[in-house]
A and B are shown apart, each in its own frame.
Chain A
């Protein structure tokens, strides 16, 4: 035993004695990837990074990089904890072997909060698609934070808009009851202000029902739902509380077709444990599930069938979390392209990354070209608007897979903007920040 141990240590020492390897060169673009392949969220993390890595490999090997600039990445395990994410950020913020960092995807709302000021000080844009700090949509106060795609307020608004669409118009919402069953955490409470404002605007009754973490037992909540008889339920749970909610709703006789799940309550992992009760359940999808998009055909041909995929279990191909990874990677690549159009075909640094993000424009034609049509919404960011999209599709679980039932539904961003502005102004006052003048930005 001891001999084996010593031999192993010697072998390791020998390897350590070799000159340091280098993985990157200065003409390559470095992309740090804070991952969570172990820990409580590993089941979503593993397909997530498989999607991201598959697309990055596809860009490198099939397209020869972004305009010839090769991408190089390194993973850093965080277990979805804030302090480990901060460590990863600090480890990678200065690039790798000279290859610069253009942005850092935080993959966690708490981490986005923790890194906000560091990103600003180090001039590295922080991306958190469909998460992040809602008021950082206002780029004049938060130049280096990008809650891309769909903020929490936007998620609430898309949910209400979809309900209005199903009811036959916004005027039909008057007098209706909409209950929000939410995970009693900062994440769950985030949409309350937005729904309250929309309730005032459209005249529906706003009922908020909290579910305590982790939400293994929800009889009291759904008994209350049965008493109140809401016309719709907006389900803002996550983790184990989602399948439990769906099952408990069925037990109390609340029709599953009237439950709209939020973004983070809309993956296969949320409905499969609920079994037959989940059939007909709908959820918002800024990253829809499905393997029939154009990009999946390309990836299948060039990556999966070549055995280059990071996916251990091929049945996850096209699942919601795999597609989230794809969408994230596509945003990275399109951002680099936007920056290269201005700064030349070379690796970009953080400041150039910010410029690129604020001038990122991905339209329908471009989406068709890269094969993300229907999977990623058209995006257009600016200095004043760091969200850029603000739309989601609605998908329905048919018992075996997610089926998309709508096209992109836009959030009512004009109505919500004053809420965002008020919060960002308060933040600027608290921190003594003078907001940038966005009209002066080219």
Chain B
């Protein structure tokens, strides 16, 4: 009789978990199906061109930085520099290797960015924290300078600007808004899936061990330096692909100036506000950082009806945006994703107190 009690208890413990998992999977599948079916449902391409594509690309960039900063604990302010590497490398590959299909060019751009990231990750073996951040700042300025200084990178074009070569895949033209959206969405879904599995594998566990305490990680036998460099490379791979998508799927053009320090800060803010060490947090953070100003702009114009002085209105929007950031971070320093989880917990127990 004694043996049956634990088995019942175990089954009882597992039951809600499996149900929850299945529900979440269904939800995710539905969301994905909706995302892929979206283009024909939307009447105008404003949503695709101006809202969804930049949101997806910034989420991907946030994901890349989050692998390095949120999961491995190496703060970087050079994210945009690695995005620039990806954009310029993809452009160079498409231009100089005739007949190279787009996915391979993107992959190549990502790999070149990963190599550069690995290189700039070498100092992480010796220095930590703020000092390492300064080396990534150097990477940012150095990479920006390289892509402005040497005309070979932008094929001697005027104004140092690269523009998207023909985007096509198996003869299908991707230059339409729907095509560019689907390209970005496919990349983001694929890479998010890879990242999700990566952080749950041994690699991810080692990264998190290093983040939590690198001395302890070294003591239990994790080769800390190697995993730090690896995190730099993987993060740069993601950022490189995000950079290429930013240049080609979103703007259609890029120059070194599109990947300046402000872009790096933007991506850093995405992960801080969205939630460090969380995959879904990147999407929330990107939505907050990139979509909220646009929403405020729309709302401001709509509510004021053009009667309020526009200069004041713009400044007011900045104030609201800043206040919201402070409010969210005071409420929940672990980011929007934590806020959302708490809310979900609370709803589940409603009307009882959490």
In the complex, A416 has a CB within 8 A of chain B: no
B252 and A117 within 8 A (CB): yes
Which secondary structure dominates where chain B touches chain A? helix
Interface 9-residue window, one of B1-9, B67-75, B103-111, B309-317? B309-317
In angstroms, Cα B44 to Cα A82, docked, is: 21
Q: Beyond the given A87-B294, A91-B50, please list 13 additional residue pairs across the A-B interface where CB-CB is below 8 A.
A: A21-B302, A38-B311, A82-B251, A86-B50, A86-B250, A113-B255, A116-B252, A117-B175, A135-B158, A186-B161, A186-B256, A312-B311, A423-B158
* Residues of chain B contacted by A94 (CB below 8 angstroms): 44, 46
Which secondary structure dominates where chain A touches chain B? helix
A37 and B166 within 8 A (CB): no
* Residues of chain A contacted by B192 (CB below 8 angstroms): none
B 149-168 to A, binary, CB cutoff 8 A, 1 in contact else 0: 10000000011110111100
A186 and B251 within 8 A (CB): no
User: Given A74-B306, A75-B310, are A133 and B158 neighbors across the interface (CB < 8 Å)?
Assistant: yes
| Nearest residue, chain B, Cβ from A193 | B158
Distance in Å from the Cβ of B346 to the closest Cβ of chain A?
Answer: 18
25 examples of A-B residue contacts, CB within 8 angstroms: A12-B303, A16-B302, A21-B305, A74-B301, A75-B301, A77-B297, A82-B258, A83-B251, A86-B49, A87-B294, A90-B49, A90-B50, A94-B44, A109-B159, A113-B159, A113-B253, A113-B255, A116-B252, A133-B159, A185-B257, A186-B160, A186-B255, A193-B158, A431-B166, A432-B166
In angstroms, Cα B317 to Cα A135, docked, is: 38
In the complex, A190 has a CB within 8 A of chain B: yes
B 298-330 to A, binary, CB cutoff 8 A, 1 in contact else 0: 000111011000110011011000000000000
In the complex, B54 has a CB within 8 A of chain A: yes
* Residues of chain B contacted by A86 (CB below 8 angstroms): 49-50, 250-251
B310 and A114 within 8 A (CB): no
* Residues of chain B contacted by A74 (CB below 8 angstroms): 301, 306
B306 and A23 within 8 A (CB): yes
- Residue in contact with B159 in the complex, picked from A20, A76, A186, CB distance below 8 Å: A186
By size class, the interface of chain A is 35 or more
In the complex, B345 has a CB within 8 A of chain A: no
- Residue in contact with A190 in the complex, picked from B50, B159, B297, CB distance below 8 Å: B159
User: Given A82-B258, A134-B158, are A37 and B314 neighbors across the interface (CB < 8 Å)?
Assistant: yes
B305 and A35 within 8 A (CB): no
In the complex, A244 has a CB within 8 A of chain B: no
Distance in Å from the Cβ of B17 to the closest Cβ of chain A?
Answer: 37
User: Given A76-B297, A110-B257, A186-B159, are A37 and B311 neighbors across the interface (CB < 8 Å)?
Assistant: yes
A114 and B160 within 8 A (CB): no
Contact residues of A between 37 and 78, Cβ < 8 Å to B: 37-38, 46, 74-77
Contact residues of A between 98 and 150, Cβ < 8 Å to B: 109-110, 113-114, 116-118, 133-135
In the complex, B217 has a CB within 8 A of chain A: no
Distance in Å from the Cβ of B22 to the closest Cβ of chain A?
Answer: 37
Contact residues of A between 79 and 93, Cβ < 8 Å to B: 82-84, 86-87, 90-91
- Residue in contact with B165 in the complex, picked from A118, A184, A430, CB distance below 8 Å: A430
B250 and A83 within 8 A (CB): yes
A16 and B314 within 8 A (CB): no
A114 and B50 within 8 A (CB): no
What is the interface of chain B, defined by CB distance below 8 A to chain A? 44-46, 49-51, 54, 148-149, 158-161, 163-166, 175, 250-253, 255-258, 293-294, 297, 301-303, 305-306, 310-311, 314-315, 317-318
A90 and B45 within 8 A (CB): yes
B161 and A110 within 8 A (CB): yes
B251 and A35 within 8 A (CB): no
* Residues of chain B contacted by A109 (CB below 8 angstroms): 159
* Residues of chain A contacted by B258 (CB below 8 angstroms): 82, 110
User: Given A15-B303, A74-B306, are A114 and B253 neighbors across the interface (CB < 8 Å)?
Assistant: yes
A 420-442 to B, binary, CB cutoff 8 A, 1 in contact else 0: 00010000001110000000000
* Residues of chain A contacted by B305 (CB below 8 angstroms): 21, 23
User: Given A86-B49, A90-B46, are A113 and B161 neighbors across the interface (CB < 8 Å)?
Assistant: yes
In angstroms, Cα B325 to Cα A428, docked, is: 46
In angstroms, Cα B309 to Cα A312, docked, is: 10
B160 and A189 within 8 A (CB): yes
In angstroms, Cα B305 to Cα A20, docked, is: 10
Distance in Å from the Cβ of B212 to the closest Cβ of chain A?
Answer: 36
* Residues of chain A contacted by B255 (CB below 8 angstroms): 110, 113, 186
B314 and A91 within 8 A (CB): no
* Residues of chain B contacted by A20 (CB below 8 angstroms): 302
In angstroms, Cα B301 to Cα A21, docked, is: 11
In angstroms, Cα B257 to Cα A185, docked, is: 8
In the complex, A187 has a CB within 8 A of chain B: yes
Distance in Å from the Cβ of A214 to the closest Cβ of chain B?
Answer: 12
Contact residues of A between 175 and 209, Cβ < 8 Å to B: 184-187, 189-190, 193
A38 and B297 within 8 A (CB): no
B294 and A35 within 8 A (CB): no
In angstroms, Cα B158 to Cα A84, docked, is: 23
* Residues of chain A contacted by B306 (CB below 8 angstroms): 23, 74
B252 and A118 within 8 A (CB): yes
* Residues of chain A contacted by B252 (CB below 8 angstroms): 114, 116-118
In angstroms, Cα B166 to Cα A366, docked, is: 44
Distance in Å from the Cβ of A127 to the closest Cβ of chain B?
Answer: 17
* Residues of chain B contacted by A23 (CB below 8 angstroms): 305-306
In angstroms, Cα B178 to Cα A248, docked, is: 53
Lowest 10 A-B CB distances belong to which pairs?
A186-B160, A90-B50, A186-B159, A87-B50, A37-B311, A38-B314, A114-B251, A90-B49, A113-B253, A77-B314
Contact residues of A between 236 and 292, Cβ < 8 Å to B: none
| Nearest residue, chain A, Cβ from B149 | A184
* Residues of chain A contacted by B251 (CB below 8 angstroms): 82-83, 86, 114
Distance in Å from the Cβ of A116 to the closest Cβ of chain B?
Answer: 7
A 201-241 to B, binary, CB cutoff 8 A, 1 in contact else 0: 00000000000000000000000000000000000000000
User: Given A90-B49, A91-B50, A432-B166, are A38 and B315 neighbors across the interface (CB < 8 Å)?
Assistant: yes
In angstroms, Cα B162 to Cα A116, docked, is: 12
